[in-house]
Chain A
Amino acid sequence: MEGLRFLRSEHLPHLWCAGCGHGIVLGAVIRAMLRVGVDQDRTVVVSGIGCSSRAVGYLNMDTLHTTHGRALAFATGIKLARPDLRVVVLAGDGDLAAIGGNHLIHAARRNMGITCVCFNNGIYGMTSGQYSPLTPQGFRTATAPYGHLERDFDLCRLVEAAGATYVARSTTYHVQQTIEYVARALTHDGFSFVEVLTQCPTYFGRRNRMADPVKMLEWFRQRAVTVAQAGRMKPEDLRGRVVIGEFHRTEDVSEYTRSYQALISRLSGEGDRDER
């Protein structure tokens, strides 16, 4: 019940479909915030466009609902202008991996002090079910009526390679892990990324014989293998599975706004040499 103070209850019920997993992810984010003691008045939550990006409307803190794909770029401006504020990005898989893919890899590379939670339902929900870069190969979508031919991104490996310093993946079936990873991401100093697989029974499930949300959660349970299990498995056995767990965690890399503040401090002794 304590989490209710994090919600704008007057704007509930939310607009997500029955059975949608986004409420589970949002609930996990709020529980993680409670666990680490997030200051509600010194936190800005930023989103892009899409189903998951509407989450910011229901969060009772400073919130920014931006343009499609650009949440991390807006968040970068906020964090640089006010490094003392905690900045969290909630965005969907299409938002982060397709139209906003460039911002994702560069926010990770800079090690911007932002926590990014990816709501990965493998589909464009708000535009009614077209494929995203995270739609698993072979599955049907509105724009892949014969089964999706493209390979999907492993977003965690992508951001880790790009320079993110905390990377983890979970699902809406594994709620306790999700809360734990988001909590660790929130206390991490640097760019932290948590991908959460979430079910879209309406647009993903219906086309792929999983219209029932329970079936989708079952699918997550069956598909998921831990990092440790995956390490012992052969590549062919891993096909079609999704690896969950913590992939990367380091605080050896300087967080970007801290580096910039150090530059400002260093220069302040010298004054503005160009001053008239």
Chain B
Amino acid sequence: MSQPRLMQGNEACVEGALEAGLRFFAGYPITPSTEIAEMLAERLPRVGGVFIQMEDEIASMAAVIGASLAGVRAMTATSGPGFSLKQENLGYAAITETPCVVVNVQRVGPSTGMPTSPAQGDVMQARWGTHGDHPVVVLSPSSVVETYVLTVKAFAIADELRVPVVLLSDEVTAHMRERVVLPDPGTLPRGERPRAGRAPSDVPPMVHFGEGKRVLVTGLYHDPSGFWTENPEEADRLIRRLCGKVESRREQLTMVDRWYLDDARVAVIAYGCVARSALRAVRMARERGHRVGMLRLACLWPFPRHEVTAVAGRVEAIVVPEMNLGQLAGEVERAACGRCRVVGYQRVDSELIRPEELLPVLEEV
């Protein structure tokens, strides 16, 4: 049994990555993600892995993809401005089906914003940041222990589906220290890359460099052999399969927590650091006799559409508190499909939404 420890979110991310078998990290310093790089610079060579501080964010993402194609589990960590710079190569990882994990500890933006204060402004960038249609998996932790669990899960999903997975943390979750008891080593599934010889699937087997298979990996539209193609049918098949392999697993990827939803008249949908304030506000409202429930999302993309639609069908209103101008609220509205009112509650002033300010919102809707 693991001992209780006082741990920071970024530290939990490092522990989770090492538990998942991380052996390569490339990054460029940017707060509030830097502790991840600093800790891995110390830890990775001790387990036979490699840490490198690259010359820029773009190079970091490129090196991570290179290392992953060479057969090791690889990750980078950054924050908003750095995440923007990684986008082209994120798309490259998506089209070449290269497993990798990108941690984005969100900070206020656009641009340098108010360094390095908290925000949740990268929800849509995580979904649509790179050009073209592409698959995306984005996980968003709300606590230190969950940062650990979701980091392990991110690697498992990345390998199983051969997709880049984004761990969308935030400054509060990353820098907060909590007493945690981590799951025992080896208890969380680590997943594995599809290799030659298993049943056919929409995720093709992965070949690593140096295996004598003489593969071509390209960011161009390519046919099943990997060679570039300008055939419209092949192009269509490729992109639909890439997006479809994540889309068709929406249910398995859905990760939600439910509180007091059975009799709720009003539901709160929240994620990340704000979910903690929101749960406190929900409990305060309950104590005052209001029938308020909550749905917390740990996987933002693919969006848990069915869960949200189901909640929308049973309540009069959904409140979506978030630290941006309604990036997820819009998606909730799409899923609610007019079944109930959707009310956003937003802050973009770098201050965390507090339970006390949310309580009157819950009471009034």
Q: Give me the interface of A with B, judged by CB distance under 8 Å.
A: 8, 11, 40-42, 44, 46, 56-57, 60-67, 70, 73-82, 84-85, 102-103, 106, 260, 263-264, 267-268, 270-274, 276
Q: State whether A76 touches B66 (Cβ < 8 A).
A: yes
Q: Please, how many angstroms separate the alpha-carbon atoms of A81 and B54 in the complex?
A: 14
Minimum CB–CB distance from B74 to chain A (whole Å) comes to 7
- For residue B361, CB closer than 8 A to chain A, the reply is no
When distances are taken between beta carbons in the complex, the residues of chain A under 8 Å from B64 are 77
Which of B48, B74, B218 is in CB contact (< 8 Å) with A77? B74
- C-alpha gap A85/B208 in the complex (Å): 12
Q: Does B155 sit within 8 A of A, measured CB to CB?
A: no
- Contact partner of A270 among B46, B63, B219, CB < 8 A? B46
A44 contacts which chain B residues (CB < 8 A)? 70, 209-210
- With the chains together, A73 CA to B28 CA distance in Å? 13
Contact B48 A63 (CB under 8 A): no
Q: Is the CB of A66 within 8 A of B92?
A: yes
Residues of chain B within 8 A (CB-CB) of A61 are: 214
- Is B50 at the interface (CB under 8 A from chain A)? yes
B261 is an interface residue with CB less than 8 A from chain A? no
In the complex, A8 Cα to B226 Cα: how many Å?
Answer: 13
Contact partner, A62, options B24, B68, B182, B209, Cβ 8 Å: B209
- Expressed in whole angstroms, the Cα–Cα distance for A226 and B213 within the complex equals 41
> Which of A40, A81, A264, A274 contacts B67, CB < 8 Å?
A81
- Are B209 and A267 in contact, CB atoms less than 8 angstroms apart? no
Check if A78 sits within 8 Å of B55, measured CB to CB: no
Contact B52 A65 (CB under 8 A): no
Query: Quick one: given A263-B45, A267-B45, A272-B46, are A80 and B67 in contact (CB under 8 Å)?
Result: yes
**A81-B218 in contact given A70-B59, A73-B63, A103-B55 (Cβ < 8 Å):** no
B215 within 8 Å of A by Cβ?
yes
Chain B residues whose C-beta falls within 8 Å of the C-beta of A73 in the assembled complex? 54, 58-60, 62-63, 66
With contacts defined as CB atoms under 8 Å apart, how many contacts are there between chain A and chain B in the complex?
145
Inter-chain pairs besides A274-B46, A276-B3, 18 sampled, C-beta below 8 Å: A41-B214, A57-B228, A60-B214, A62-B210, A66-B65, A70-B59, A73-B59, A73-B60, A76-B52, A77-B67, A78-B209, A103-B55, A103-B59, A106-B55, A264-B45, A268-B46, A268-B48, A270-B46
Q: Are A57 and B216 in contact (CB under 8 A)?
A: yes
- The residue on B at minimum CB distance from A60 is B214
Q: For chain B, what secondary structure do more than half of its interface residues adopt (helix, strand, loop), or is it mixed?
A: mixed
Residue pair B92, A76 in contact (C-beta under 8 Å): no
Choose from A46, A63, A65, A82 the contact partner of B210 (Cβ within 8 Å). Answer: A82
CA separation between A66 and B216, bound complex, in Å?
11
A214 CB → nearest B CB, Å: 31
Cβ of B283 under 8 Å from chain A: no
Q: Which of A11, A60, A64, A264 contacts B66 (CB 8 A)?
A: A64
> Do B70 and A78 touch (CB < 8 A)?
yes
Indicate if the CB atoms of A80 and B50 lie closer than 8 Å.
yes
Chain A residues within 8 Å of B48, by CB: 264, 268
Given contact pairs A78-B70, A85-B70, A264-B48, A56 touches B63 in the complex (Cβ within 8 A)? no
Distance in Å: Cβ of A84 to nearest Cβ of chain B: 7
| Residues in chain B near residue A263, CB distance under 8 A | 45
A264: B residues at CB distance < 8 A? 45, 48, 50
Would you mind naming 14 contact pairs between A and B with Cβ atoms under 8 Å apart? A11-B227, A42-B210, A65-B219, A67-B88, A70-B59, A73-B58, A77-B24, A77-B63, A77-B67, A81-B50, A81-B68, A263-B45, A272-B47, A274-B46
In the complex, the answer to whether A56 meets B214 with C-beta atoms within 8 Å is: no
Distance, CA A252 to CA B93, complexed state (A): 37
Query: Distance (Å) between the CB of B322 and the closest chain A CB?
Result: 32
CB of A177, distance to nearest CB on chain B (Å):
29
- 8 Å CB contacts to A: which residues of B211-229? 211-220, 227-228
B24-65 vs A, Cβ < 8 Å mask (1 yes, 0 no): 101000000000000000110111101010111011101111
Contact yes or no, B210 A84, CB < 8 A: yes
Interface string of B224-266 (1 = CB under 8 A from A): 0001100000000000000000000000000000000000000
Q: Kindly state whether residue B193 has any CB partner on chain A within 8 Å.
A: no
Of B23, B56, B65, the contact of A102 (CB 8 Å cutoff) = B56
Q: Which residues of A contact B216 (CB under 8 A)?
A: 8, 56-57, 63-65
Complex contacts, A70 vs chain B, CB 8 Å = 58-59, 62, 89
Residue in B63, B68, B185, B211 whose Cβ sees the most chain A Cβ within 10 Å:
B63
Interface 0/1 of B186-223, CB less than 8 Å to A: 00000000000000000000000111111111111000
Contact indicator B89/A67 (Cβ below 8 Å): yes
B72 within 8 A of A: yes
Among A57, A81, A270, point to the contact of B74 (Cβ < 8 A). A81
Complex contact B210–A41 (CB within 8 A): yes
The one of A42, A76, A80 that contacts B59, using a Cβ cutoff of 8 Å: A76
- Taking the complex as formed, is B69 at the interface, i.e. its CB lies under 8 A from any CB of chain A? yes
CA distance A84 to B209 in the complex (A): 11
Bound: A99/B74 CA distance, A? 25
Cβ of B112 under 8 Å from chain A: no
Question: Are B24 and A63 interface neighbours, CB within 8 A?
Answer: no
* Chain B positions within 8 Å of A81 at CB level: 23-24, 50, 66-68, 70-72, 74
Chain B residues near A57 (CB-CB < 8 A) = 216, 218, 227-228
- In the complex, how many angstroms separate the beta carbon of B205 from the nearest chain A beta carbon? 15
Closest 10 CB pairs of A and B: A77-B66, A77-B63, A73-B62, A73-B59, A81-B67, A41-B212, A65-B218, A81-B70, A77-B67, A74-B66
Docked Cα-Cα span, A63 to B63, in Å, equals 15
Expressed in whole angstroms, the minimum distance between the Cβ of B282 and any Cβ of chain A is 34
Complex Cα gap A70–B57 (Å): 11
